Structures are given as structure tokens and as C-alpha cells.
Amino acid sequence: MNRGKSSDETLIEMDRTTWSSGEENNGFHAGSDKETFQLENAEVDKQQQSKDSVYFRDGVRRIDFVLSYIDDKDGEKKQDRRKEFEDNLQKAGLELETEDKSESEDGRTHFLKIHVPWEVLATYADVLKIKVPFKINDIPDKKDMPMSWLFTPYRLPEHVMQPEPDYFTATFDKSKTDFFLIEDKETFFPPSTRNRIVYYILSRCPYSKEDKDKKGIKRLLNNGTYTAAFPLHDCRYWTRSRDANCESERYSLYKYWARFTRFYKEQPLNLIRKYYGEKIGIYFAWLGFYTEMLSYAAVVGLLCFIYGVASFDENVWREICDEKIGGQIVMCPLCDKKCGYWKLNTTCSASWQSYLFDNTATVFFAIFMGIWVTLFLEFWKRRQARLEYEWDLVDFEEEQQQLQLRPEYETKCTSRRLNRVTQEQEWVLDQTPADKAGRFILCWATVVLWISLIIASIIGVIAYRLAVFAAFASIMKDSPANKLEVVGTFITPQFATSVTASCINFVIIMILNFLYERVAIKITDMEVPKTHMEYENKLTVKMFLFQFVNYYSSCFYVAFFKGKFVGYPGNYAYMFGEWSGLRNEECEAGGCLIELTTQLVIVMVGKQVWGNIQEALVPWLRNWWVSRSARNHPESLYSRWEQDHDLQCSGQLGLFYEYLEMVIQFGFITLFVASFPLAPLLALMNNILEVRVDAWKYTTQFRRPVAAKAHSIGAWDEILNMIAVFSVVTNAFIVSFTSDMIPRLVYKYTNREGSNNTMAGYINDSLSFFNISEFQPQNRPDYDENPDWFNSSIITTCRYRDHRYPPGHEKQYTHTMQFWHILAAKLAFIIIMEHVVFVVKFFVAWLIPDVPSEVKARIKRERYLIQEYMHDYELEKLKIQLSQNGPNMEECICPTTATTPVKLEVLSDCLT
């Protein structure tokens, strides 16, 4: 199993003296009796075999796992591996049955069916500390809610929501099987638990006689010895199984959960957990809760947008559209040479769009979202605590994951070390501090390199914006599109530059994301994490850090950098110096907020659409292509394992990408929501679809994943908290520096008196003057670029967006006092908003306990009852033993059996 350790030392052998050599041993057979229990010589009529059979040919033993392989040119070497691997599986107690390739639909694929008998199930349930029922829960469940009848249309049938009775559970102990509620050993452990146990054995079983370090199904899949390894779905998704003994839970999940017409229904979380395991169950619970909470944010955001539409007549941007005000203001060129002078009223449409999202309600919504995100995280903690209790995960600690070390880690272990907590010897990776430091530096140097590539690409996109803006300004000056009645006013050089740059940026994001995913997995593998949980946490940090920069950097540029370092006419700032000719971008008269909104919508919506195409359409097309020939055959020829073999594999990191997608979306709707109040509404519509797409995908397009336990969403919880805190800061800065809210308020309360003041004159006040004659030759527009109405002998000044003294003033072109007043007001607003929101956040977090009091009471009650019943059980056993021994308490001498004990090899380094 591990280097420096003989094969005998890696296995724990357990006597099974209760079996007699002449009996069938409850379905268990020793490794030397392979032909006996595989039933390879039995008569098989596939025409009579049920299409949905999930049993061996005897119709009794359930198929818990399936391996497939194809004979190829390197067949002899792979055949030796398979033989050794299967022999070792039999020594571990698993029962095997082979379907020859001649019996498969394609005539090429062999299928190895695996059944795990009771003795193996009991052994590994003890090893993995699996909780099982010992008594029906008799605690009254108070679920009555006031006005609950209002939610009836959203409810699912009780047998779907609660697929099994509520039990008290305790950790399984093989020596006390009569303590637990075991009515039928074949159905006591659900299929999800059975396939979890089988995969645990498969991932640790050696396949080489020469090198015991070569082990695990993952390696065999990678080197092509086997082509697939998967547990079976219990039936076809569109109809129930013909076998009355089969649960047909897949059909129930499809009927009540995975259909798009059920988008308004609650999710059957208990059935999801029972079929797929707790790890997938907790994901859908989180996704459903997140979608539910989004509905409140979406409603408030929609109301803020409606307010912007309704209050348009009162806003200051009417002055821009007014021919007598905006039509008389001549603005300075927005680029060198190729941009001419323009009138302010040409930005009327853009200014109107900007006001829809830049109004008084923006401040309210930014504060609301800061509080909403706290409520979301706190209420999720409570929901998660309730699920932990209901799903028997209260005592599931991360230390128990040490029992499930990654096989890749075990293979590389070379020495033992005393665990100071357990005081037991444990296998550790033998590496020097220099090796650790080298791996750490190499891994994070790679991450920094790829983040640098993102920043370089963003700089490239910015350079593109600067280079093409002048071209668009020149090309679109007399463009026919400008004369279109509806859209002509919207097609401006700024709009064209922003949209094309956003689309290019989105394509770059997708390409870098595709490449980095593979790099992140490679460098995480190189670190050799100890457990699966540690592996996922390390990968999560690397992937999120990269994607945070990848997806949000362009939005950060538009929000906090564009238009902030442009200089002023006669002294413009350039991106790479004046020699480059790439003059820094200016914001329009309407501000940069509308451009941030455009950037946010394109990247956010584009990512969601692309994600749904990848998640739904691509698997469907692949499955259609793979199964195209099978559709021409009778159903009885296309067996359950062949159907599942043709489905897509969700992969070990399937859920990781689902979480990543949703957390990136969470960042969009929190970090930049002040610029686009409709973002939660778009996210809500996407997530309503996302829940059903993911459900449909797992139920119809993917093989059944191996069940796994998880008591929380893991490292994503900390990432969400980090985003929540950071979002308060970003939204405060957006309102202050990207929005035009603070300058308007300063103007309103410093330049007017009385309570009925208006914003008349604000536009003129927000623009400064520049003497056209002072333009440098390299900044002055070409003669043919100026509009027909421009006459240099009459028009001697142009305007630009800033607060500077006019030409002729003793402090000409330096900032006025009003500029400093506005800057002070912006900084004061940031401090006040952050402190108010953070105080409310911390108060709300303190006010709402993480675990509901009802759940705490039920946990205590259950623990008390477990101790009480266990005490009564031990006492009853003692009484029975005393009564059997008699009054003289003589030592019981058990007769010696004539049978030879059968040894069961338990594949677990953790137990040695």
C-alpha cells in the first residue's frame, strides 16, 4: 500500500468463524472461487433480461458499481493489471460478474459488475463511521406555519419530500448489529451508501504484484486499463423501473424536480440527498436558498429602476437635451486629431440612460444590498445548521476526513509520525522544508504569472479602446446609422468602443479561464494535498483568485480608473507617454456609470448564457451522438449499465465548477450592484433556470455520481463572506467616484438656498472652460474633422468635465475650491456609508444566532436519547449474558468449529 510497508502490514484480517465451508456464506465467496460466484457459465438470455435490471444474473445480488474496459493493442499488459486488480477486489470481499463484449450493444465493451455483500458493508460502515437508524424519531415536529395554505401550489407530495421516515441515528458498530433497525440486510444501507463504500475500496485496491504502491481505480482509468467506473441509476428517468424491488428514485427526481415546468416548485432535498448523497444535496440546498433570497433583492432593485424612470422629468439631465442649454454648449474634442468639437446635447440619450441607474435610489439600494448580503449569509448558516441536524451531519467533523485520505497522497507516503491528538502513528509525506518551500513558491509563482497575463490582456483591451475610439469617431461622423430614427441617437463612438471592447474582453476572459483551469489542477496535484477536502480548498483558493481578477478587472477599470486621470485640454495624460498617442479615456458628460453598466451586463449575461450552453446543450449533444446507434436496437438489448455508460461523467470537480459559477455571479450582483440595480433580477431569472438545468443535467445527462458527505459548502463560505465585506467598500466608491450623485448634492446644498431649491444650472456649473487657441498642435483636431456649424472666429472656447478656473484667471486651469469641497464630500460619504453598513451588518450578525434554538434543543434531546437507549441496550445484553452463564458464573467455553476461518482483507491504511 505504501512505500516501506509490506502487503501483510497494510491489511487488517478479520476472522469469520461463523461461516461453514459447505454453505454459500450469505453470498460471500473467497477469491479462489471466482468462477463459482461470477456465474460466467450460466445461460443468459438478454431478450428476457429487464432493460432496467440493476441486479446480477441471479436477480438477487444488487449491482453496486460497474467498470468497463475495451481490449486494445496493449491488451496483455492491461489484462494483467485487471486480473490482479479484480483478484484483490475479491480478497476484499467484493463479488464480481462479467458481461462479455459479445453481449454488449457495441460489440467492443466488457462490463464488470460489482456487488458488495453484507459483511463488507458492515465492515466499511464501521470504518467510515456511517450513521444508521436505531429508532424512529418520536420528537414532535412543529412545522405548522401561519397561512401555510398560501404555499400549497409550491409544495410537492409528502412521499417525495420525505422519502423515508425520520430516525434517530448512531454511528454504525459492527459488533452491535442487533442494536440497529435492520429489517433487511440487503436494503439497510441505501444505494448511495453502498456505492460510496465500493468506491472507497476501488480507490485503494492495488493492481500490481511487483509494486504495491500502484493502486486505485483512478490510475487505472488514467492509463486506459478501464474506460469508466460508475454506480448505476436505478431506472430510466422517464418511466418507473419494471422491477418492483427497485426504488425508481431517478424517475421521481425527474418528474418532480428536473423538469423545467416545475421551476416554481420547492426542491425535494431529502430525496436528492438520499439519491446523490449529502455533498450534492447541500449544493442544491444552497443554490435554492440563494435564489430565494435573490427574489427580495430583485424586487427592491426593480423598484429603484422604476423610480429612475418615473422621476426622469425632475432630473438635471433635461438641461443636456435642451436645445437652448445643451445645444449651445460646445465641448472639447475627446481624442487627438480625429475627433472634432461637439455639442453637449448629442449625449442626450446616453445621459438619459445613465440617470435610470444614477439617481437617489442608487444610494439606498447600495446600502440595502450591504444589509441584504449579511442577512443572506446569516440565514444560510441557520438553514445549513438545520440541514446538518436533519441529515445526520452534526457530528461530522473534518477530522473524520482523515479516514478518507486521497489515494494519491497515500501512494507517496514513505514514513510514519505520531499524531499528537490521537496518539497514533499516521502515514505522512516525507519531504524536507526546502521541498515544501519549493512547491509553494512554484505553485504561487504560476498563479501570479497567470494573473499578470490577465492584467496584460486588460491593458491590451484598454489600448484597443484608446486606439479605435478615434477611428470610430472619424468613421461614424457621417455614418448612415446616425440617421436612423430609433437607434441612431444611441450609436455613438463611445457606445461602439465600449461594446466592442467588452465583447473582446469577454472572449479573452473565456480563453484564459479555459487554459488556467488545467494549470490550476496541475499545480494543486503537485502540492499533494492530504485529503479530498484539503484538495478542494486549495484548488478553490487558486481558481477563485484567478477568476476574481479575470472577470472583475475590466469592471474595476471602468468604475475606478476610466476618466480619473485624463488631465485637461492642453495638458492631457497619455497611457504610455505622449509618444504613444494613446490619450487616456474621458467619461462622457453623462459619466462613466452607464459604461460600467454596459460592461457588467455584457460580461455577466454573456457568462451566464455561455455557462448554460456548456452545462445543458453540450452534454445533450454528446449523449445524442454516443447513443445514436443504440436507438435502433430493441430496449431489451440496451442494458442499464450500457445506458449509463453512454452518459457523460460529472467528474470529481463537477460541483466545484457549479459553485464557482454561482460565486462569480454573487460577486457581480454585490460588488457593482450600485451601477445596475437590475443585476439581482437578471441573476434571479438565470438561477431559476440554473436550478432546473443542473437538476436535468444530473438526472438525465450524467452518470450517477459517487455519493459523498459534506456538512457545509466548504471554503466557499469564507469566500462569500470576503465578497460581502469587500462589496460595501466597492459600492461606496462607485456611488462617490463613478456616480454623479455627490457632485449634485454638493451643488444643491451649497449653491442654493431654501427648501424648494432646484438643480437648474448644474450642468453649466459642472463644466469648465478652455481657450481653443491654446490647444497644442498634436491635440488640435484636423480641419476636416470639425462639424459644419463650427466657426473658430466665433467660438473661442470649449467646455470639458471638471472644476477648474477659466482662462484669464490668475489660477487658470487649476482646481477650484468647489472641486475640493466635492472631494471632501465623497470621502466623507465613503466613511459614513461604510461605518453605517458595517455597524448594521455586525449588529444583524450578532442578533441572528447561527443555529436555531429549536435545532439546538433537538440535538441535545437526540444525544440524550442515544445515550439512554445505548445504556439500556448494554444493560439488556448483560442480563442475557448473566442468565445464560447461570448462577455459578462459570466461564463459557465455546466449542471449536471444524471450519477454517475465512480472512477478509480490509483496504484501509488508517486502521493499521
Task: Identify whether residues 302 and 258 lie together within a single domain.
Answer: no
Answer with the one of 850, 884, 901 that is the final residue of a domain. 850
What DSSP line would sit under 572-592, residue for residue? E-BSS-GGG--BPP---TT-S
pLDDT band at 91 (very low <50, low <70, confident <90, very high): very high
Residue 30 pLDDT > 50, yes or no?
no
Residue 82 pLDDT > 60, yes or no?
yes
Answer with the one of 252, 267, 282 that is the final residue of a domain. 267
Q: Give the tens place of pLDDT for each residue, 296-322.
A: 999 999 999 998 888 776 666 677 888
Among 181-195, 629-643, 665-679, 789-803, the least confident range: 629-643
pLDDT attached to residue 287: 96
Higher pLDDT, 294 or 333: 294
Could you count the other beta carbons within 10 Å of the beta carbon of residue 624? Answer: 12
Residue 52 pLDDT > 80, yes or no?
no
pLDDT band at 720 (very low <50, low <70, confident <90, very high): very high
Q: Give the tens place of pLDDT for each residue, 511-559.
A: 888 888 888 888 888 887 877 778 888 888 888 888 888 888 888 888 8
Residue 115 pLDDT > 90, yes or no?
yes
pLDDT band at 898 (very low <50, low <70, confident <90, very high): very low
Task: Identify whether residues 646 and 697 lie together within a single domain.
Answer: yes
pTM over 0.75: yes
What DSSP line would sit under 229-256, residue for residue? EEPPPSS-TTS--S-TTS--HHHHHHHH
Residue 854 pLDDT > 90, yes or no?
no
Task: Identify whether residues 241 and 306 lie together within a single domain.
Answer: no
Residue 137 domain-assigned?
A: yes
Number of structural domains (the chain) is 2
Task: Identify whether residues 258 and 316 lie together within a single domain.
Answer: no
Task: Identify whether residues 241 and 290 lie together within a single domain.
Answer: no
Alpha-carbon distances, residue 307 vs 358, 360, 361, 365, 745 (angstroms) = 11, 9, 7, 12, 18
Task: Identify whether residues 686 and 817 lie together within a single domain.
Answer: yes
> Contact at 8 Å (CB) between 610 and 688?
no
793 burial (CB, 10 Å; 0-12 / 13-18 / 19+) is exposed
Residue 902 pLDDT > 60, yes or no?
no
Type and span of the H or E element at 135: strand 131-136
Task: Identify whether residues 223 and 99 lie together within a single domain.
Answer: yes
pLDDT attached to residue 25: 33
Task: Identify whether residues 257 and 357 lie together within a single domain.
Answer: no
Residue 426 pLDDT > 80, yes or no?
no
Distance between CA atoms of 739 and 790, rounded to whole angstroms?
Answer: 31
> Contact at 8 Å (CB) between 152 and 236?
no
Q: Give the tens place of pLDDT for each residue, 605-638.
A: 888 888 878 777 888 888 888 776 555 555 556 7
By residue range, what is the domain housing residue 90?
65-267
> Contact at 8 Å (CB) between 529 and 410?
no
Residue 353 domain-assigned?
A: yes
Residue 38 domain-assigned?
A: no
Task: Identify whether residues 259 and 359 lie together within a single domain.
Answer: no
Residue 58 domain-assigned?
A: no
CA 331 to chain centre: 47
pLDDT band at 594 (very low <50, low <70, confident <90, very high): confident
Task: Identify whether residues 716 and 751 lie together within a single domain.
Answer: yes
Distance between CA atoms of 466 and 371, rounded to whole angstroms?
Answer: 38
- Sign for the CA dihedral angle at 306, 311, 312, 315 comes to negative
pLDDT attached to residue 256: 94
Q: What is the mean pLDDT of the chain?
A: 80
Task: Identify whether residues 151 and 279 lie together within a single domain.
Answer: no
Distance between CA atoms of 384 and 713, rounded to whole angstroms?
Answer: 9
Task: Identify whether residues 131 and 161 lie together within a single domain.
Answer: yes
Among 315-329, 371-385, 889-903, the least confident range: 889-903
